[in-house]
Amino acid sequence: MKRIGLLSDTHAYWDPRFEQYFRDVDEIWHAGDIGSLDVVLRLQELAPLRAVHGNIDGGDIRRIYPELLRWDCEGLSVLMTHIGGYPGRYAPNIRKLILQHPPGLFISGHSHILKVMPDPQLGLLHINPGAAGLQGWQTVRTLIRFSVSEAKVHDLEVIELV
């Protein structure tokens, strides 16, 4: 079993509560728009970091983190990108990838809108952790924690940073 901390759209903002909420996770996943290497380094101090770059990320972050990342976590196929849409409204390039090789979990950011929703047509779970940074129109900043074991997501928690 792995415990995961998931966030997106930090836009270079570091909230000291990230340490509190991600203290006991095995990995941190960032779905893009990281904004600065300082955020990367601070997250890496807490746990191993998997990330994709977002549309606001500069060359320094783009050289380290790809646009799209696919891996296996405890038997669960994971696909993560920054701009990907959501069930019923996937970005065209992502829809094609999902149809060719469906993941069990699809993660995207960008919209700053928290979504945790199944896609029963494609048999996957979609998560957008919302935005953890200060940029954007969201009124509540959010993080997500969950566990993965035996190819399933469980114990999912939404954390509101108010």
SS3 30: strand
Per the listing, tokens 């728009």 go with 33
Q: Determine the average pLDDT of the residues in 42-61.
A: 98
pLDDT in tens, 97-153: 999 999 999 999 999 999 999 999 999 999 999 999 999 888 899 999 999 999 999
Q: What is the per-residue pLDDT for 122? A: 94
**How far is residue 40's CA from residue 47's CA, in Å, rounded to a whole number?**
11
The pLDDT tens digits of the residues spanning 1-20 come to: 999 999 999 999 999 999 99
> Which structure tokens are listed for 71?
């891996």
Burial class of 137 by CB neighbour count within 10 A (0 to 12, 13 to 18, 19+): exposed
Given this model, what pLDDT does residue 2 score? 98
pLDDT bucket at 66, cuts 50 / 70 / 90? very high
pLDDT at position 138 is 87
Sign of the CA dihedral with 130 first, then 92, 69, and 101 last? positive
Q: What is the pLDDT of residue 162?
A: 85
Q: Are 31 and 52 in contact (CB under 8 A)?
A: yes
Q: Are strands 141-149 and 105-107 parallel, antiparallel or unpaired?
A: unpaired
What the block records as the tokens of 158 is 């939404």
Whole-angstrom Cα distance, residue 31 to residue 38? Answer: 16
Nearest of 117, 138, 119 to residue 10 by alpha carbon? 138
State the greatest distance between any 2 C-alpha atoms of the chain, in Å, as a whole number.
40
pLDDT at 47: 98
Overall pTM surpassing 0.75 (yes/no): yes
